[in-house]
Structures are given as C-alpha cells and as structure tokens.
Amino acid sequence: MSSFKANIQKLGRAMLLPVAAMPLAGLIMRLSADDMLNIPVIGAAGNAVFGNLDILFAIGVTIGFAKTKDKGIPALTGFLAIATLKKGLEIMNPAVSMGIFGGIISGLVAAWTYNRFKNQKLPMVFSYFAGEKFPLTMVMILQTITAVVFGFIWPIIQTGIDSFAKLLVDMGAFGVGIFMFLNRLLIPFGLHHVLNTYVYYDLGSYTSPSGEVFRGEMTRFINGDPQAGLFLSGFFVVMMFGIPAICLAIYRAAFKENKEMVKGIMGSGAATSFIANITEPVEFSFMFISPMLYVVHAFFAGLAGFVCYLFNIRIGFTFGACIVDYLINFRIATNAILILPIGLVFFALYYFTFYYLIKKRNIPTLGREVATEFGTETIEEEEKELTLASKNYEYMAKKLLDAFGGAGNIADAYSCNTRLRVEVLDSSVVNEQRIKQLGVSGIIKPTEKNYQVIVGLEVTYIMAEFDKLIENQG
C-alpha cells in the first residue's frame, strides 16, 4: 500500500510536466484567433501542444518514473512507446483512440522498460545496442504487444469511461459540484491532478470545422466548442473571490500584534490566487490546523460549480481560473459576466463563514497560533536567515537537506507548482520540527518515506539549489 501511494504521488507529479507547456499554448491560441489578432501561424504553436497531448503525457510520465538523473534516453523511450502504440492501434482497430490514457500507459511501460533494461548486457557483436540503448529496442516490442491487447480490450474500457463521463454530465449541476468538491478535497493528498487530467483533457468530444477531434473540457473550449466550460467556470469563483475572502478572514481574525505580518502573507496569497491561480500556500495554511475549515472550503467550491452550472456559465482556461484567462476568454465564453456578481456573493459567504468559525472555535490560523520556539541549537544570526522571507534560497535548501538527513538519505527529490517532494531512505533521521521552522506552509507525509513540503511559488528556486547540493555531496 505504501508503494502504491508513492507511485500515485509520482504519477500526479509526472502529469505536471506536460501541463507546464499548456498555459502559454492556450494563451497564444486564444490571442491568434480570428476575433483577436488573427495570426494563424502563432496559433499553430498552441495546436502543436494540444494536438499532441498523448505524446506529451507519454514523455512526461516516462521522465517522472525513470530512475536516472539523465532523462534524455527515457524521454526518447517514451516517445517511441506512444508512437509504436498509435501505429499499432491503427492496424488493430482504426476506431480506437486512447487519447491521454494511451500516453499515460505508454509512459508507464516506457519507464518500466528503461528501469528494467538500462543495464542490459549483450554479446559483443551487439554491444552498441546494449545498456541504455537497449530499452529503445525493447519498448517497441512491448508496445506492439500492448497495441494488440488494447486493440481488443480498449473499446470495452472506453465504454466504461464514457459511461462515467455520461453519468457526470447527466447529473448536471450535481455532477459539476461533485467534481469541484473532490478537486479541492484531494489536494492534501496530491491526487487532484489525476482527477483533473480526465476532466480537462478527455471528457467529451468536439469536432472542429476543420475536421479535427478534440477531447476534454479545457481543450474543447479553447478550440471553440460552445458546449465546453461548464466543468471549469466554478473555478473562477473560487480562485478570484473565494481564496481572497479566506485570506481576508484569516487576516481579520489574527491577533493585533500579528496583523502586519499576516497582512503581507495573506495579501500575497490572495494576489497569487487572483492573478496566477495558485492557491496551495493559502489552503495549506489552514487545512491541517482545521480539517473542518478545509471541508467547508471544498463544499463551497462544489457549491460554486453547482451555481455556475445553473446559470449556464461556460468559460475555460489554460493559464488558470484567474483574471488573466477570464479577460482573454471573455469574448468566447457564455454568460461570463455573471462570474462577477456570483463571485461577490461567494466572497461574502467565504469571508463571514471563515471569520465566524475561526473566532467561534478559536482556530489557531496564521497570526493566532502559539509562538513556536526555535530549538536551542538555533543561534540568533541563523534565525534571521531561517525563513522564506529572507529569499536566501541556497541557505534554505541547505537547511532543508540537513533536516532530511543529508544527501545520502535522499532517494528522490522533485518539485511541482508549490511543493518540494522528497523521498528518503530512512525517515527516522528526518527532523520535521526543523523543517517547520523554515517558514514553510506545512508538511505532508503521504507514506512513511515520502514528504511534501509546502513552500509556495519559490519552490522552483529552492529545488534548483537543493539539486545542486545533492549533486555536490553525492
């Protein structure tokens, strides 16, 4: 079970790699449209991304699971895996289209093939094809078999997936509400990406005037499907109004002597959500302190999706459900103006509910907690540097690595949008209290040897320094 959880975490992380290419692709596709700049050659770059999602996911998943620092050969293995599968399916059953699921399966097969055969020895005459090159041969053989198998069984699986999608769609507002509720609820476990992937990139089908077929709420909306966007519109209410309201409630509920500090942190959190669609720094500031508050938040998110569906609001995003996508996609959306009054209502709902619960139940949110003393080993000069606010990312990375037991205790380390994810060899030497002293938003331990440190947008810079330290000490 522990291994299963760890692999699910890796799968969620691997899916973020191809997603990184989508915000800009979506923006340029929208800006190059006929009703805006009308420059098709710019839009072609966006189509290159959204027209090859299966390939991107195959490469991303392979890189995520390949056990090596140099990801070049694994990436090529992932490409060969999806290319072989697609060509094989064309022969087996031309009607089969596995979409991103084909990419994910290909990535998993490619990663397993690479990890299993990367050190393969061959007779001297074939030595050129041995070692890291051997998986390139093996993956084509394995994926040919995969194509034969899925040529027979995928129509059955696809029927099941379509039934699930139809169930969500047939449930109408309730289906959208359930999706958004689960989307928020799964964030603490890092599994929301798995759920999002299906809805964003595989739910529903749309054939454009040019004859191209697009799947997924996000992809269909960007490519002009007037029916897409119902599953996405509620996120604008949450990101642009709900999260800022939570920030205001936490600030107002803070003790007087802490208000200035909380104002800066929560103000930044509200702006980040409104402008960049990044919510985890705010959500992790209270989800473990008060799971009740977080369930309320998830319920309100589901309610936002429910209400937006009832008002037939259809608007999508690629950069995120923030002011950027709202303004750019406003002209092709349906009833997008209603996001504003609905958002104001939810702002009030979020604010008064959170403020009341924090005060009534004396929840120790930011600015209300009992001060935690640094350990006796922390000297005064160190305390000045020992926070994210210092922007000394090299120092932060060094202290994090020390708290995890040094480079020799790191089995794997990577980052996503806001989290530093670390797998250790021996969890008994990890100093969790020391990590908390570094000014991070929180720590999640999904399995015995896996940690997720909630850092925020600065995680990219800390991860870069973290990698350097591991490489130098390794």
Cα 169 from Cα 9, distance rounded (Å): 28
Higher pLDDT, 308 or 467: 308
Q: CA 109, CA 82: separation in Å to the nearest integer?
A: 10
Beta pairing partners, 53: none
416 is catalytic: yes
Q: Where are the alpha helices (DSSP H) in 93-191?
A: 99-117, 134-170, 173-185
Give dist(CA 243, CA 455) in Å, integer. 17
Question: DSSP characters for 282-334?
Answer: HHTTTTTT-HHHHHHHHHHHHHHHHHHHHTT-B---SS-SSHHHHHHHGGGSB
Per-residue pLDDT of 286-295, as tens digits, reads 887 888 999 9
Beta bridge partners of 410: 424
Is the dihedral angle over the CA atoms 110, 114, 115, 120 positive or is it negative?
A: positive
Q: What integer is the mean pLDDT of 246-272?
A: 88
Mean pLDDT of 464-471: 84
User: What are the tokens at 320?
Assistant: 């995120």
Q: Please write the tens of the pLDDT for every residue from 62-114.
A: 988 888 878 889 999 999 999 999 999 999 988 787 877 888 899 999 999 99
pLDDT of 139-148, one tens digit each? 999 999 999 9
How far apart are the C-alpha atoms of 234 and 11, rounded to whole Å? 26
Per residue in 43-54, pLDDT tens?
788 778 877 888
Residue 444 has pLDDT above 80, yes or no: no
Question: Tens digit of pLDDT for each residue in 187-245?
Answer: 766 566 667 778 888 888 898 888 888 888 888 998 889 889 999 999 999 999 999 99
Locate tokens 């031309």: which residue?
A: 94
Q: Are 474 and 407 in contact (CB under 8 A)?
A: yes
CA distance 78 to 56: 9
373 burial via Cβ count (<10 Å: 0-12, 13-18, 19+): exposed
Asked if residue 447 has pLDDT above 90, the reply is: no
Q: How confident is the model at residue 438 (pLDDT cuts 50, 70, 90)?
A: confident
- pTM across the whole model: 0.62
Please provide the average confidence, as pLDDT, over all residues in the chain. 83
Q: What are phi and psi of 388, to 5 degrees?
A: -65, -30
Q: What is the largest CA-CA distance in the chain?
A: 77
Beta bridge partners of 381: none
Reading the block at residue 84, the tokens are: 């072989």
Closest CA to 275 of 333, 218, 336, 321: 321
Q: What is the pLDDT of residues 357-380, one digit of tens each?
A: 999 999 888 888 554 443 434 444
CA nearest neighbour of 282 among 362, 371, 350: 350
Domains of the chain plus CATH, in order, are 2-166 (no CATH), 171-371 (no CATH), 380-473 (3.30.1360.60)
| Interior/surface letters 310-339, b for 16+ CB within 10 angstroms, e for the rest | eeebbbbbbbbbbbbbbebbeebbbebebb
Read off the pLDDT band of 247 (50, 70, 90). Answer: very high
CA terminus-to-terminus distance, the chain: 30
The token pair at 368 is 């209300």
